Each structure stands twice: as structure tokens, then as C-alpha cells.
Chains A and B, each alone.
Chain A
Amino acid sequence: MKPELLRAALEPILLEVIARGEATYGYEIARAIHQATDGKLLTQEGTLYPALHRLEKSGLLKAEWRHSPEGRRRKHYKITAEGRKRLAKLRSEWQDFSECVKAVLGLTRWCHGA
């Protein structure tokens, strides 16, 4: 996957993964994305963290430190209300965008338009 494509898609993916509650901390989020995409989307797991911090900085995610079973401190992320609104909007935009791209590329027959 091209880094430019991943950079644009990473924000809704992270918000969606965290909103589902499937994963709440870095490595777990990386595993969830890896399994959902069969390892095709996230080739460099380190790229998650700048995106997580950016979302936290912008108030879409909220982080808190907890202790792992091994006793290590671990940072858990939780989506905020604002993050959910943002996710809804991104989901709609990405649906329109991907359908249009597919239509242009001949992968589907119609496009709703952005």
C-alpha cells in the first residue's frame, strides 16, 4: 500500500477500530487492522503512533494509562463524542469517494457523487 493512500485512510480506520472497541492500545490496534486487511494495509506498524497522537491532539481520541497484566504501563485510547461525529462524516465521505474511484476505474457501474 502506498504511504500516501495509507496516510489518508488511516484516520477513519483508527477511529473505526477504536470505536468498535476491538482494540484500545497501539499493538492491539495494529493487530486488528492487520487481521481486517490481511496485512495489506499496515506494512509499517510505527506509522500508527503519529496518527494516534494527532487524533488525540485534535480531541477525537482520549488516552489514559493503565497497567498491563505483565505490570507494564500501557496507553489506552478511547474515542470521544467529537471523534464519533468525525467518524460518521469520514465514513460517508469515504464511501462516496471509494465508489466514485471504483466507477472511474470501471470496478462498479454507478457513482453517487461527493
Chain B
Amino acid sequence: MVREESQPLPSEEQAWREGLAEEIADHLEQSARDGEISGQLPKVAKSDALRRFGSVEKTYFHCWWIHQKEQIMLSVLRNSFLLAGVVVLVVMMFLTWSQQRELTGQLNEMRDSLQSVAEFQQQLAAAAAEPPVITVSLRGKAYLGFPDVPVQDYPLTVKSRYTNFRRLLKTDAEGQFTTGDIPTGDYQLSCQLVDGYSYGSGYSLTTEYFALNTPGDTKDVQLDLDRLDSRVTVRFVPEMPLKIPTRRGEADVALMVQLPTIDQNLTHEKMLDSAGWDYSQLRDGWCGIRVGQETLRGCGEFSQQFFQHPEQRGWQPPRLSGPVHSGRQIVIMTIRLYPHNADEQNVRRMIVPPVAPSLPIGTFDLEPDTDVTLEIHWPGEQALTEIVNKPNRFTCEDFELKVVSREPAG
């Protein structure tokens, strides 16, 4: 309340203080003088004057309070207002900050949501603009005679049926080859026959088109070359489903027959079982049957395909072109393939297990002008159903093959 001595006082207040001090001093001096006049000693008179006056400090303070009360009250009031204003300002700032923080959080959430939506839209747009590329791969192994004799640096070509895709392959030291990732579709694998293999330079063996439609699947192909017996075999391993495109879509069953060469003699008949069959005793030519799936439904139609001898000009790989229901059911199918003039007693049946997706059924050495009969028997049939019975003289004439299917009972 009282200003320090070092601080300069305003002239008005300083004058007031000096006046108050003079007023009190005059009072005490007169009081002491009156005491002395009445006979008191100066020291006693001063002491008595002070006693009668009372507390000088209290008097001084009371007078100062009266003089400064209004200013002090005004100052307190002003400071109170300032303090209240500061408090209100701080509260408002805190509320504003809190609200801004909340708004910032909401804004961030909205921005994240918007970004997610934008990314999702971009993904949708990208997905709409570019259809997803589903890739498959084809790999295989070429070996000479036996699987443990791999053929190295053997040229192969994989070709798409409907696009211009073509990829040149070559086997490695293990005789293995792979196409890498390729788009789904129908493909054809060609083996370039070089000197010393099979038919010699200039020939090639081309498989039929096979579909690779299962995303992420890897299809295996096994290429078997036999230089000594001039035998070339392309055999699909069981893991590879075969789907034959037909007019109605894709069929699950196909029967492929390639006739022997013309200069070979039919010496014996072979029967295969589900475990496979050794071609080592056979000559050129092959035949095979494929059952795409275990359950095939709906039989009753037949389809046919004319095959040509590979040495004939314009030879095409065997392909089933007739309409075949997809989803047929074949439990057990018996196949007989024998020369027309063969001894009936020597004709043996070949049992095709229902779960075997790929099964070669035989290669024959036939004499010229020999008719070949291929029979397929459905389970429960007593009599053999003759499928093919057309003379074939092996003079590069067309060979007719019929596949009969039927509707399942019930």
C-alpha cells in the first residue's frame, strides 16, 4: 500500500504526506510546549504529549487510508475486473482450443475416411479399367527313354490359341522347362524334333490345345523322347485337367488316338492299368484316353473325330470336335483296341479307373491294310459297344474315332 522510499512520489501525494506530518508534528510540539509551560521537564513534556496523542503510526495510517481509500477501492475494482477478464479470456481460449482440437480430430477422421474412399474408388476404377490378370504356369520335363535320362537344351514352344502369345522354352540340365507366369487360356505345346530324335530334323510334335484356366495353378507336362525306338510321347501328368472346347462349351472327356507308322507290324496288344504303362516295347505311335474328372454326368451323345497319320501332309493333332456334354459320369470304362483281324481270344480289356485323368491305352504296330477296332464299354454293359469299326489301311487315310456317351441311370 505504502510506496517505497526509492520510488518517486507524485507531487500531490508527496505534498499531502508532508502536510500530514507537519500537522501531527505541530500538534505534538504545541502539546509538549504547553507541558513545559505548566512546569514539566522538556523530556517529560514530550513524553506526555506523545502519550496523550496516542499511536502516531496508527493515526498516520488512518489518515492515509481515508485519503487513498477511493483510489485503492478503484484500483482493487479495476484489478478485479482485469482478473475476471483474464480468467474469462483463459476459459474462452481453453474452450476454443478444446473445440478446435475436437474439430481437428473430426477433420482428420473425415480426411482419413475420404482418403480411404478415394483409394477405394481408385481401386474400383483401376479394377474396372484393367481386368485382373490371372496367371498360370506350365512346367514339365523332357527325358530320353527313362525319367532318369533328362534331355538338356531341348527346344519347346508354348503357343496361345486365341492370342499371339508365344514363348520359346528350353530344357535345363535336369530336362525341366517352365513357361513362367502366363495368362489363363488355351495353349499348345510344340516340341521341335531335331536330328537324332524321333522323326528327325524338320518335324515337330504338337499337342492339342489344352486349357489352363484355374488361377494360380501350375500344370505339369512330361515330354518323353526315345531316340532308339523313334518314339515320341507327350504325356500329361494326372494333375493336369483337360478340357476340350466344343460347340457347347468344354467337355471333360476326350479320347485321342494316334495311329502307328505305316511300316510297322502289329505284333502284340498292350493293356494298361491305372499305374501307367511302359512304352519301351512299343514302336512309334500312341494313343491315350483322358477322363477329365471323376464325376461325369449325362451321356447319350457321341462325337467323332478323324485322325490322320502324323506323316500325312496336313496332319493335325488329334482333337475331339464333336459335341460332348460336360459333366458326364463315368465310373469304370473298359476300352479295347485291337486289330480287326486279331484273334478274339487275345483281345484284352483295359480298365480305365474313374479317377485317372490321363491314361495312355496303347501303341500298336500294325500291318498294312489292317482294320482297327476301338471299343468303349460302360459299366454294367454285357455286350461290348462298338465305337469304332472302320477299316484303316494305314495309308494315311482318315481314321474315325467315335466316343459314345450316355445319360447316367437315374
Which A positions have Cβ atoms within 8 angstroms of B? Answer: 25-27, 30, 44-47, 49-50, 53-54, 57, 65, 68, 72-75
Given known A57-B66, A75-B22, contact A27–B59 (CB-CB < 8 A): no
A selection of 20 A-B contacts at a CB cut-off of 8 Å is: A25-B23, A25-B26, A26-B24, A27-B27, A27-B30, A27-B31, A30-B27, A44-B52, A44-B54, A45-B27, A46-B24, A46-B54, A49-B27, A49-B62, A50-B62, A50-B63, A50-B66, A65-B19, A72-B26, A73-B26
A34, closest chain B residue (CB):
B52
Chain B residues with Cβ below 8 Å from A54 are 66
Chain B residues with Cβ below 8 Å from A45 are 27, 31, 52-54
Specify the main secondary structure of chain A where it touches its partner.
Answer: helix
Which B positions have Cβ atoms within 8 angstroms of A? Answer: 19-20, 22-27, 29-31, 52-56, 58-59, 62-63, 66-67
CB–CB B27/A26 < 8 A: yes
Cα–Cα distance between A49 and B26 once the two chains are bound (Å): 12
B30, closest chain A residue (CB):
A27
Given known A30-B27, A72-B29, contact A49–B22 (CB-CB < 8 A): no
Chain B residues with Cβ below 8 Å from A27 are 26-27, 30-31
Specify the main secondary structure of chain B where it touches its partner.
Answer: helix
Given known A26-B23, A73-B22, contact A49–B63 (CB-CB < 8 A): yes
Given known A27-B30, A49-B63, A50-B66, contact A75–B19 (CB-CB < 8 A): yes
CB–CB B67/A49 < 8 A: no
- B67: which of A26, A57, A72, A73 is its contact (CB, 8 Å)? A57
Given known A26-B26, A49-B24, A72-B22, contact A44–B53 (CB-CB < 8 A): yes
CB distance from A6 to the nearest CB of B (A): 12
CB–CB A46/B56 < 8 A: yes
Chain A residues with Cβ below 8 Å from B56 are 46
Chain A residues with Cβ below 8 Å from B27 are 26-27, 30, 45, 49
